[in-house]
Structure formats: C-alpha cells, structure tokens
Structure 1
Amino acid sequence: MAIFRFSVKTVSRSIGRSAVAAATYRAGNDMLTNERDGRQHNYSKRAGVGDSFIITPSGCELASDRSTLWHEAERSEKRSNPVTAREYVIALPAELNARDRAELARIFASSVVER
C-alpha cells in the first residue's frame, strides 16, 4: 500500500540554521562555504541522495548555481530573525522506481516554482 507524506520546514537564522548549510546537506554531494559566517559545509560523503536538482522560473538562470542561489538568499534577508529558505519534504511510495520518484519530485517542484 502506497503511503504519501508531505511537510514544510523553515530554515531560519533565529534558531541557528543557514540556507547554505541546509542546501548543501540536501544535495549530499556538495561542499559550500557560507559567506556570512565563514563556516564550511561538506556533505560530500553523505549517502542516500538519489538526485539533486534546482528548478528556477524562466529568466532566473543565475539561480541554477547552488552556491549563488543560497548565498543570495542569505544576503537578501536583513532582519534579525529571517526565514531564508523553506524545505519541502516529500515521502514518495516505495512502489515507484527511482526514476519515477525523481520525475514526480521534479513535477512537484516545478508546480511550486510556477506558483
């Protein structure tokens, strides 16, 4: 029986999180240095990441670079308690193969970007 789960989490500086660190962790095969605090985030040895991608609205091709996108998200927020990113956590059915799950995740992400 297929079970679906969905949740949204915020990435907020007020609780010590960073959009750069969160994005690096989610990508799982990347290493980025946070320009704001100089901390280096290296999750290149993290296993279990099937796919990693960025979907941008048309005209925002600069944002397709992970480092540029998340550093700009950090720079754009000037408040003392900013939400710099949101994480959409989707549990997809195990009955789908890896390719189908990746395609479904891309379709969902595209619909969020279009909104």
Structure 2
Amino acid sequence: MISRSQGRSATAAIAYRVAERIEDRRTGLTFDYAKRGGVDHTETLAPDHAPDWVFDRSELWNRVEEAETRKNSQVAREVRVALPAELTHAQRVELVRDFA
C-alpha cells in the first residue's frame, strides 16, 4: 500500500518503478529516477473509453494524489508478481497484460 501516513507518495513510487522523472504538484518535489537501470518494460493499461491524460504518467499520478486529501490517504497499491524465466520478454509482458 502506498500510504501518506507512512510518508510515501504515488508520484515518488511510480517515478522509481518506471525509472522516469515526475514532478509532484502537491508537494512541489521532483522525483528523478531516469538514470536508474533494471526496468525492462513500462506500460499504462486503461479501458478504451479512458481520457487521453490517463496515458501521461505524471498527470495520472498527480491527479490520484490530488483526489485524496486526507493525511492518511491510501493512494495506490503495489502488486508484485514473479514471472517464469523460461518465458521470453514478450511472453512475460503478455502474461502481465492478461493478468491486469
């Protein structure tokens, strides 16, 4: 759980997970993990009718942070899955897409 009561933010967490630079409009902090290695694939999945801004990570996660106003808000949930090494990269990506 990404929770404010633990001093965490969704913008910081997503910037780290996807190895990108994201500015948190709520706090004014910039989280820059663009030089971080080890990220093989990133993708945003959304329904067909979702607005275009959903595919802009910075906008999406800033809106999530803005929607929750309590100091103990739970703004995101992290799910970790172990993927078989026997699968190709493309097969692992497709497996996670199917799961999501």
TM-score bracket, normalised by the shorter chain, equals over 0.9
Higher strand share: 1
Relative contact order, higher structure (CA 8 A, sep 6+): 1
Q: What corresponds to 1:35 in structure 2?
A: 25
Shift in Å, 1:15? 0.3
Secondary structure of 1:51's counterpart equals coil
Alignment of 1:104 onto 2:95: yes
Q: What corresponds to 1:59 in structure 2?
A: 49
Give runs of ≥4 in structure 1 deviating > 4 Å. none
Pick aligned residue for 2:14 from 23, 28, 48: 23
* 1:75-90 map, 5 Å: 75-90=66-81
2-structure distance, mates of 1:81, 1:21: 16
Unmatched segments (≥5 aa) in structure 1: 1-9, 110-115
CA RMSD of aligned residues (A): 1.0
Counterpart AA for 2:92:
R
In percent, how many aligned pairs have the same letter?
43
Aligned residues: 99
